Amino acid sequence: MATYHTVQQGECLSSIAYDYKLPHWRTIYDHPSNAEFKAKRPNPNLIYPGDVLYIPNSEQRDESHPTDQRHIFVVELPPTYINIRIQDIAKEPIRNAPYELDMDAVQVTGNTDGEGWIRHRIPAWAEFGVLKVYPCTENADTVICWNVRLGHLDPLDTTSGIKGRLNNLGYYDGDIDDVEDEAYDAAVRQFQEDHELVVDGIVGPMTRGKLNEEHRV
């Protein structure tokens, strides 16, 4: 039956749709009862803990087949992808580097593309993982490792969302919360300086726009 769902940290529309056995996340996002939510969150990939969603009934249909035979029913679910760009300390892409991605016991391997991108299909329910990248350097044993948390990036209009993006871009290494502490101020100022913005530690429209451009979400 239809119900309401309060978003928790680590959830995304794909994982919520999967949990409620809905065929597509748009079944939730495009529902008329979620019009206010959709207006508030124009990017469906960025939702926030505490958001309340209307969850419609899953679609049902009847199929008529002989009972003395075996039948296979296939449900096609929309794919979910992870997109990560790997850069070095100089912000140059790490190109054509082998990588290993372990997402909730699902392992995938490949090479970054010519711009340093990793694009891979993953399970809709995936939340935590480990990414290992082996850059092509003189030291063949070099490996760069990150913990990956899907569904944990908050919207850009929140301090936690700003911290998350600064962390991913290499400017901030602290708690991802809504506290504007000294480390946060220093990270904002360094980002502003690197991108020739007014260095005041305030995330106004120009800084926010540049942060969105650099992070790409």
Q: What is the pTM of this model?
A: 0.78
Residue 35 included in any domain: yes
Mean pLDDT of the chain: 90
Q: Which domain holds residue 32?
A: 3-55
- Domain with residue 169: its CATH number is 1.10.101.10
Are 96 and 143 part of one and the same domain?
A: yes
Are 134 and 165 part of one and the same domain?
A: no
**Residue tagged 């529902």 (tokens):** 31
pLDDT at 76 over 80: no
CA distance 162 to 156: 6
Written as one string, the DSSP assignment of 125-181 is: T--EEEEEE----S-TT--EEEEEETT-PPPTTSHHHHHHHHHHTTS--S--SS---
Q: What is the pLDDT of residue 61?
A: 66
Are 200 and 172 part of one and the same domain?
A: yes
Q: Which of 127, 149, 171 marks a domain boundary?
A: 149
Are 84 and 145 part of one and the same domain?
A: yes
Are 178 and 132 part of one and the same domain?
A: no
Residue 62 included in any domain: no
pLDDT band at 80 (very low <50, low <70, confident <90, very high): confident
Q: How many domains does the chain have?
A: 3
Residue 73 included in any domain: no
CA distance 44 to 36: 13
Are 205 and 178 part of one and the same domain?
A: yes
Q: What is the pLDDT of residue 65?
A: 74
Are 10 and 48 part of one and the same domain?
A: yes
Residue 8 included in any domain: yes
Residue percentage of the chain with pLDDT more than 70? 94
Tell me the mean pLDDT in the region 147-152. 90
Tell me the mean pLDDT in the region 124-130. 89
CA distance 156 to 32: 25
Are 145 and 93 part of one and the same domain?
A: yes
Q: What is the pLDDT of residue 140?
A: 67
- 68-82, 142-156, 160-174, 189-203: which has the minimum mean pLDDT? 68-82
- 5-14, 52-61, 134-143, 176-185: which has the minimum mean pLDDT? 134-143
Residue 104 included in any domain: yes
